[in-house]
Amino acid sequence: MKDSRYISQPGFTDTGMIFKFVQRSNEFIHTFAEGELLYTLGFNREDIVGKTLHDFYWDDIDTANLLNGYYKKAWEGQYIEYEGEFRGIYYVIYLRPLFHKDKVAEVVGTCVDITNKKIMEDDILQKEQERKLMNSYAFQRSLIDRLHSGIAVTDCNKKIRLLNRKFYELFQLKGEVDCHIGMQASDLHYLFDKEINKNKFENTEKRTRTTKEIKIDTGRTLRYNCFPLNEENDFVGYLWEFEDITEQKKMERVIIQAKEEAEKVNMAKSSFLSKMSHELRTPLNGILGFAQLLEMDESLNEQQRDFAQEILSGGSHLLSLINDILDVSRIETGNLKISVEEVHLLTVIKECINIVQPLAKKKNISIYSQLDQWEDMIVLADPIRLKQILLNLLDNAIKYNQENGKVIVFCRLQENKQYIHIVDTGVGFSVEEYTKVFVPFYRIESTKEEGTGIGLSLVKQLVHLMGGEINVTSNKGTGSEFCFSLPLPNDLKTVIQWGEQTEFPPTNNRKEDNYRLLYIEDNESNLHLVSNIIKSQPSYTLLSACTGKEGIEIVANEKIDLVLLDINLPDINGYEVFEILKAGKETKDIAVIAVSANAMPKDIQYTLDKGFDNYLTKPIHVQEFLTILSETLNNTINQNIPDHKILSTGPHGEEAVSAKTLRLSLKELKKIKKKKYKAAIAMHYTGSDWSRSQLEGMQTTFEKMGIEVVAVTNAEFKWKKQVADIESILAKNPDILMSIPVDPELTASVYQKAAQAGVKLVFMDNTPNGLQHGKDYVSIVSADNYGNGIESANIMAEKLDRKGKVGIIYHDADFFATKQRTEAFEKTIKEKYPDIQIVDRRGITDSNDGEKVASAMIAEHQDLNGIFVVWDVLAEGALRATRTAKKSNLVITTMDLGMNVALEIAQDGPIKGLGAQLPYQQGVAEAILAGYGLLGKQAPPYVAVPSLKVMKENVIDAWQLVYHEDAPDIIQSVAKSRSAKEKGEQQDESIDRRR
């Protein structure tokens, strides 16, 4: 009775064998067996009676257990039916329980031979499958015949195994389609021999898709793709796909011819404009000259003088128009030469503003320039053409402005380019016109101002000639903003910047010294094209791979700077290749550009969202391809640092400047290194993770700047010790002193002494009383303490479900950083979460008193739900207090990501989260500001580093960001275990819900 399966609860009709069983000592014992089928199956009564299922299925435990289950259901009172097969005989068994006094006394089994019925069913099933197979073949054949491409399949012996109707038509075959099956493919065209022989001696892994174009006897041009066919890793033949591209080829020739004709016409037009412009200038010279002489004639009356002014005004406008036309024609013919040199940007901008100022005054338009911090900014430009660009943009900003409007000029430095913005409050224009305004002779819709529409077209072309870009944003009725970029001289490019890697431009002034590129592509034609493009670039070396797996192997064994990745590969798709590369420790930072014929916006966005550095669509545009390669390879590598708005203000109410604006150029770095400066660091305390990380940030950056750190001291939170430390430091004659004052008042005099000695002071988190920015110290740097306080409040509210009672343990000292943390927490709770009450506030001055203060707070408020603690060391004390009081449900939030609090967050203990500082990045910012002080470069009074919310979900990533190193193994292990446990619990809950 092997191979049995449960069917249903039955009725009884036929019999072939009857048997009975009862239950004794949890075993089912057969008490009776009789019938013809018993002997047909090869059994006797003695084989069954008195035996259990396990007795005669001793060699097949699984079957015994299965049948035992059916017996058990029958003994529980169910009517059971199941089928089985034994020794070629199919049977069905019905189990019927017999009751005595409402309990099952025994079970009667009836077994029926259904072999003939089964054989009949199998025959019917086989015929049905054959019918479906025939229908499937007919459907597939119909489907293939409907394709617009010709399809053929050849085997290893070059014989045709499949053709479709389109192939038959393309090659104009005679007879029925099927009569060509089995023929030699070479009898139809020589290409079959050529391609098959070419791949004959290659192993299966090296056989790749081939794409080529051929002409056939009918005069048609076909493009074919040849795909190797494999079955279970064995090569079995080729699939051929043919597409008629005759008309496409004709169209391409027509387009090329039209393009050449258009270029000739354009050149002729430009040449004509150039000649005409020169011819027009000669009579215009006479008109303007004599008009100026008339204007100088004192005998003219007022009306005659007005006439002369009109002639001069019209003539000047005509001259300007001729000059613009001449410049456009020179650009189009390639005859406009520019002379790029180092230009003092501020000087040119101020000169242009002065020129247009009278025009602005006529319309009561105010011009505001925000340029002070860029006073030393040098750009690479043609000074005459730069002036032409600025005057054109400023003139438009005034011309198209509203009465009593504004024009704002400001600059920003980004990615080694200087961006100049010109903003107006004018009439504006629609989004649809953003690109149109740069087209020659285009005029903004509904404008009443005079103009030719040449100016912006000329501006764009001049900007491009100088290596820059220009763009515009605008809103109807509110105004427009034009922005163009200019490159920096090599020695002024940023080499040290907060939040970025330090990079030094090579001595040959080319960053792309020798890059190794890998193109993973299975199309031979595309590989050939890119290979020829790269040959023209001596700084690039190209490697290639035909499959994803081959590409991954090359990346693992070769130094690769950038991967060009086709999405549709024959083995694994490009997305899988990308994920494998990004998962590898050695390959995760390699730039990857997707190359695909798919140009649908949603697919491009999907690919970029996955993390690809860029996306190129086929067919490849050579210049765009090279530009994207250069931009991707030369892109500065940014750290994943939050770009939040800074909410803190400085100790004296100063507006915060983001640390992301800080940078030093190569020229500035050389100046600093040449002087061999010395720095000293006077810390309030060095025993915390925060202090150690900040010291590392400063020291690492000083090393890059060529600055020697001659002393690092630890005041242990004692103001007298800090004063003595600084006195000792001053004896070493440092040029720079980095410090965090323990007490702003009691340490002020020693800092004043340092400032008077000419030492450049940079402060962390606080400033001494009485010292002035710019005069006594360079700047102060802190975390966004206010922002971190808000993060702690939001975490507290989330974990308390927005209701409950909380206490606050704050720093009882005149320390603006900790004051802002506490103020932000309190204000956020009171204004945003009205159902959370702050029931206690306790100050602390000694970092060892956290446990004592928290214990007292918990003892007084037995119904306390949470405690905010102003920094992590104190929070560790509060944690011990909650454990002593057995208050495991009490929520703690704090600041600073120390080792112990990170571990507690990772394991979802009472410390639920915090607002983290970024001490390493803060140290980098402080060192760069020290460089500002040494160079005499203007520095903002207060610089802040963004806040970072940390909870159990991101504690591992946060540690890497905060300390520039992987989280300790114990934190990673605890976080992993907690995550696995939570997933298990979620699965259990899901199962319970389904039940």
* pLDDT value at residue 634: 58
* pLDDT value at residue 332: 59
Mean pLDDT along residues 827-833: 94
User: What is the percentage of the chain residues whose pLDDT exceeds 90?
Assistant: 31
Largest CA distance in the chain: 149
Mean pLDDT value across the chain? 82
Q: Give the residue among 822, 825, 871 at the shortest CA–CA distance from 848.
A: 871
* Lowest mean pLDDT across 282-291, 737-746, 764-773: 282-291
- CA dist 135 to 126, 138, 474, 773, Å? 14, 5, 62, 88
Query: Are both 515-634 and 785-983 of the same fold?
Result: yes
Q: Phi and psi at residue 89, in whole multiples of 5°?
A: -105, 125
* pLDDT value at residue 199: 59
Q: Give the residue among 113, 59, 123 at the shortest CA–CA distance from 88.
A: 113
Of 827 and 618, more confident: 827
Of 84 and 505, more confident: 84
* pLDDT value at residue 147: 80
Please give the structure tokens belonging to residue 965.
Answer: 């190193």
Q: How many helices (H) and strands (E) does the chain have?
A: 29, 38
Please give the structure tokens belonging to residue 209.
Answer: 């898709």
* pLDDT value at residue 564: 93
Q: What is the CATH number of domain 785-983?
A: 3.40.50.2300
* pLDDT value at residue 807: 96
* pLDDT value at residue 369: 82
Mean pLDDT along residues 805-811: 95
Residues 932 and 735: beta-carbon distance below 8 Å: no
Q: Is the pLDDT of residue 854 over 80?
A: yes
* pLDDT value at residue 414: 78
* pLDDT value at residue 863: 93
* pLDDT value at residue 505: 35
pLDDT per position as a tens digit, 210-246: 888 888 877 788 888 888 888 777 788 888 889 888 8
pLDDT per position as a tens digit, 66-118: 989 999 999 999 999 998 887 788 889 999 999 888 899 999 999 998 888 88
Q: Is the pLDDT of residue 639 over 50?
A: no
Supply the DSSP symbol for 492.
Answer: G
Q: Is the pLDDT of residue 497 over 80?
A: no
**Which residue type occupies 24?**
R
* pLDDT value at residue 174: 81
Mean pLDDT along residues 769-783: 92
Q: Which residues of 615-637 are buried (b: 16+ CB within 10 A; e: fewer)?
A: bbbeebeeeebbebbbeebeeee
* pLDDT value at residue 795: 95
Angle 186-187-189 from CA coordinates, rounded to 5°: 60
The pLDDT confidence band at residue 1, using thresholds 50, 70 and 90, is very low
* pLDDT value at residue 10: 41
Element (H, E) at 294: helix 246-296
Q: So where are the chain's domains?
A: 16-120, 140-199+207-247, 339-487, 515-634, 649-781, 785-983
Sign of CA dihedral 563, 566, 572, 573: positive
Mean pLDDT along residues 577-598: 86
Which burial class, exposed, middle or buried, applies to 524 when counting CB atoms under 10 A from its CB (0-12, 13-18, 19+)?
A: middle
Residues 161 and 181: beta-carbon distance below 8 Å: yes
Of 508 and 862, more confident: 862
* pLDDT value at residue 749: 95
* pLDDT value at residue 576: 92
Residues 209 and 523: beta-carbon distance below 8 Å: yes
* Residue 187 neighbours by CB under 8 Å, 6+ apart: none
pLDDT per position as a tens digit, 351-364: 888 888 888 888 89
Of 830 and 322, more confident: 830
Whole-model pTM: value is 0.47
* pLDDT value at residue 575: 92
Of 789 and 253, more confident: 789
* pLDDT value at residue 638: 31
Look at residue 68 and give its three-state secondary structure: helix
Of 828 and 632, more confident: 828
Mean pLDDT along residues 972-983: 84
pLDDT per position as a tens digit, 712-763: 999 988 999 999 999 999 999 999 999 999 999 999 999 999 999 999 999 9
Q: Is the pLDDT of residue 791 over 50?
A: yes
* Lowest mean pLDDT across 11-20, 245-254, 306-315, 704-713: 11-20
Q: Is the pLDDT of residue 893 over 90?
A: yes
* pLDDT value at residue 635: 46
The architecture that CATH gives domain 140-199+207-247 is 2-Layer Sandwich (3.30)
* pLDDT value at residue 765: 87
* pLDDT value at residue 580: 92
CATH number for 649-781 (one of 3.40.50.1820, 3.20.20.220, 3.40.50.2300, 2.60.40.650): it is 3.40.50.2300
* pLDDT value at residue 289: 62
The pairs formed by 573-577 with CB atoms below 8 angstroms and a separation of 24 or more are 573/548, 574/520, 574/548, 575/607, 575/610, 576/548, 577/520, 577/548, 577/551, 577/552
* pLDDT value at residue 811: 92
Of 437 and 387, more confident: 387
Sign of CA dihedral 638, 640, 645, 650: negative
* pLDDT value at residue 201: 45
Q: What is the CATH number of domain 515-634?
A: 3.40.50.2300
* pLDDT value at residue 446: 64
Look at residue 692 and give its three-state secondary structure: helix
pLDDT per position as a tens digit, 562-578: 999 998 888 999 999 99
* pLDDT value at residue 14: 44
CATH superfamily name and code, 339-487: Histidine kinase-like ATPase, C-terminal domain (3.30.565.10)
Q: 16-120 has which fold? A: Beta-Lactamase (3.30.450)
